[in-house]
Amino acid sequence: MQNERHWHGIYTHRMNRAQWAGAGRTFCRGYFREQPAHTAAVTQTALLLRMNTGGLVWARSVIPDRAGMVGQNFAFAVLIWNAAE
């Protein structure tokens, strides 16, 4: 790919994805401030499951402690639901 530029070894299209993710998180933060806590907990749990699934499917060989990652994210989900109550 000739016209891809690098920024400190990172492809610029990955930076754009990170910027979109940041914009989405900012939108969710503002949107869920107006919604019930249960709605935010459901969305956060769904996003956490998607992140774990993606990591286990596409980055399986890179993650050294997959069971630990899932365990920590389960504990995080418990905290999410505890805060929503």
pLDDT: which is higher, 66 or 36: 66
3-state secondary structure the chain: CCCCCEECCEEHHHHHHHHHHHHHHHHHHHHHCCCCHHHHHHHHHHHHHHHHHHHHHHCCCCCCCHHHHHHHHHHHHHHHHHHHC
Q: How confident is the model at residue 1 (pLDDT cuts 50, 70, 90)?
A: very low
Mean pLDDT of 57-79: 91
Indicate the pTM of the whole model: 0.61
